[in-house]
Amino acid sequence: MKSDDLSEQTVQRREKLKSLRDAGINPYPNDFRRDSSAGELLERHANTSVKQLTDKQIPVRVAGRLMSRRIMGKASFAHIRDESGQIQLYLQREQLPDGLYDEFKKYDLGDIVGTAGIMFRTKTGELSIRVNQIRLLVKSLHPLPEKYHGLTDVETRYRQRYLDLMVNEESREVFRRRSATVTALRRFLDDRGYLEIESPITLPIPGGANARPFVTHHHALDMQLYLRVAQELAIKRCLVGGFERVYELNRNFRNEGLSTQHNPEFTMLEYNETYLDYVDYMNFTEEMLREVAREVTGSLQVSYQGNTVDFGKPFARMGLREAVVHYYDGISESDCSDAEKLRSVLDSLHAPADRERSVNGLLLDLFDASIEEQLIQPTFITGYPLEVSPLSRRNDETPNIADRFELFVAGKELANGFSELNDAEDQSNRFLEQAQAKAEGDEEAMFYDTDYIRALEYGLPPNAGGGIGVDRLVMILTDSPSIRDVLLFPHMRPERAPGEQ
């Protein structure tokens, strides 16, 4: 890299690095061992008095990134930060080995240092370390963001997440809470006897959802493969084999656009249990989300983008038609059977419908275009058309309707579930319809999966399945407006080179 391409500060830091190397000093040693973290010290000595600290003369060794420094002649204050928090250092020339104070003055913000010293409190009462040894552990070659106490540029935060985490405690807390959410989901299912599996990510046939897959190539086998779009079919194969409670919490991949709610790579929890139906699984999903919200946030009332989402109250349950009539002003019960009326309303919303759609399909289009965003409190919607539910069991009383639910929270779909279709002949016919749609240009239609049909022919026990979008759940539990806020490394458009149009 040419120095012309670097900022003045970066050039200076590289010169300091060269000087260290020329002097025979390793700027990246790995032999410093700490005995405490900043957070541990702050918690352990929160109530330790000035006198107690003076009498005990507690020695400590800590390490962290240099975040601030105030040099005052022969003495300086500084703050270092590790994962657990930030603690103040106090350095005096006379208390350090010869030349070390001058070396410290050459350090830059962002450098990682190891220190040894004695705990004390300043006149203002701040717990601090009186340093008697300090050592450079990592030379940072770039300055911290200009406003390192709060990096706000969204593009930088997403592209250079390490900077975001380095300087924004709020972002670190989001990802701690994300980890807690994943742990809580697993614990809930594990405690109820569910078996976690790991299904293949690269597949000869993608299945389990209507979605456009990513395509790759296996060179040794010279065959086309697809990245997994859902875990569902693998889980149900396990149920055929004799397991009765199965889940997978892992990544799926869908070749779709980017939005505040969509990322091509995302985390999904799918879970199935035998001898239950979709109504049982609405109850089960509600119980799971209530417990996870309580465990992760400490409350059943969660603030999200100006609204309070209440996980404590029983979740509302509405049929698709009922929801349209209730939430869309000007649509009556009789209108829900009038295809032309529904097409007219969709046209007025600039959401033109497929002219071949059934009435139920048009109702779903209207729901997606206008109703979904209004469902702030947790709400189960049922009565989905069979035509958009190719893996769901058909309702016994209304065969063109699926035994299916979707859960909406904070205006977004959070979960999907149904009584699973276990009739091999019915499933085969639906796969044939999907294959025909794909041949006619529908890139999200499913493939015909011969092996899955064979598995069903051996006998899939009656069961219910559900899926939760983990990223969206974390968005709600962290009050994050975009899915990119809860993904450590979200997909981004390629970064333009300097001067590129």
What would the two tokens of residue 176 be? 């701690």
The pLDDT, as a whole number, for residue 500 is: 60
Can you name the residues that pair with 251 across neighbouring β-strands? 267
The CA distance from 239 to 233, in Å, is 10
pTM over 0.75: yes
Chain centroid offset of residue 122 CA:
41
What are the counts of helices (DSSP H) followed by strands (DSSP E) for the chain? 15, 18
CATH of domain 7-144: 2.40.50.140
Alpha helices in 218-309 (DSSP H): 232-241, 278-297
Asked whether 90 and 131 are in contact (CB, 8 A), the reply is yes
DSSP state of 31: -
Give me the tens of pLDDT residue by residue for the chain, a chain 501 residues long. Answer: 444 446 899 999 999 999 999 999 999 999 999 999 999 999 999 999 999 999 999 999 999 999 999 999 999 999 999 999 999 999 999 999 999 999 999 999 999 999 999 999 999 999 999 999 999 999 999 999 876 555 778 888 999 999 999 999 999 999 999 999 999 999 999 999 999 999 999 999 999 999 999 999 999 999 999 999 999 999 999 999 999 999 999 999 999 988 999 999 999 999 999 999 999 999 999 999 999 999 999 999 999 999 999 999 999 999 999 999 999 998 999 999 999 999 999 999 998 767 678 999 999 999 999 999 999 999 999 999 999 999 999 999 999 999 999 999 999 999 999 999 999 999 999 999 999 999 999 999 999 999 999 999 999 999 999 999 999 999 999 999 999 999 999 998 887 665 565
Q: Give, in order, the Cα–Cα distances in Å from 462 to each of 60, 174, 427, 493.
A: 61, 39, 14, 44
The CA distance from 338 to 349, in Å, is 17
- Domain 166-315+377-486's class? alpha beta
β-pairing, 202-203 vs 112-121, is: unpaired
The CA distance from 474 to 204, in Å, is 32
DSSP line for 476-498:
HHHT-SSGGGG-SS---PPPPPT
Q: In sequence order, what are the residues at sequence separation of 6 or more whose Cβ sits closer than 8 angstroms to the Cβ of residue 211?
A: 229, 230, 254, 255, 256, 444
Question: Residue 407 is which amino acid?
Answer: L
The CA distance from 195 to 80, in Å, is 44
The CA distance from 292 to 187, in Å, is 9
Alpha helices in 84-160 (DSSP H): 100-106, 154-159
The CA distance from 471 to 174, in Å, is 11
User: Nearest to residue 328, comparing CAs of 353, 314, 349, 305?
Assistant: 349
Residue whose token pair is 């003055």: 105
Q: Specify the DSSP element, H or E, that contains 464.
A: strand 463-469
What would the two tokens of residue 486 be? 């809860």
Task: List phi, psi (to 5°) of 52.
Answer: -60, -40
The pLDDT, as a whole number, for residue 356 is: 78
Structural domain spans, the chain:
7-144, 166-315+377-486
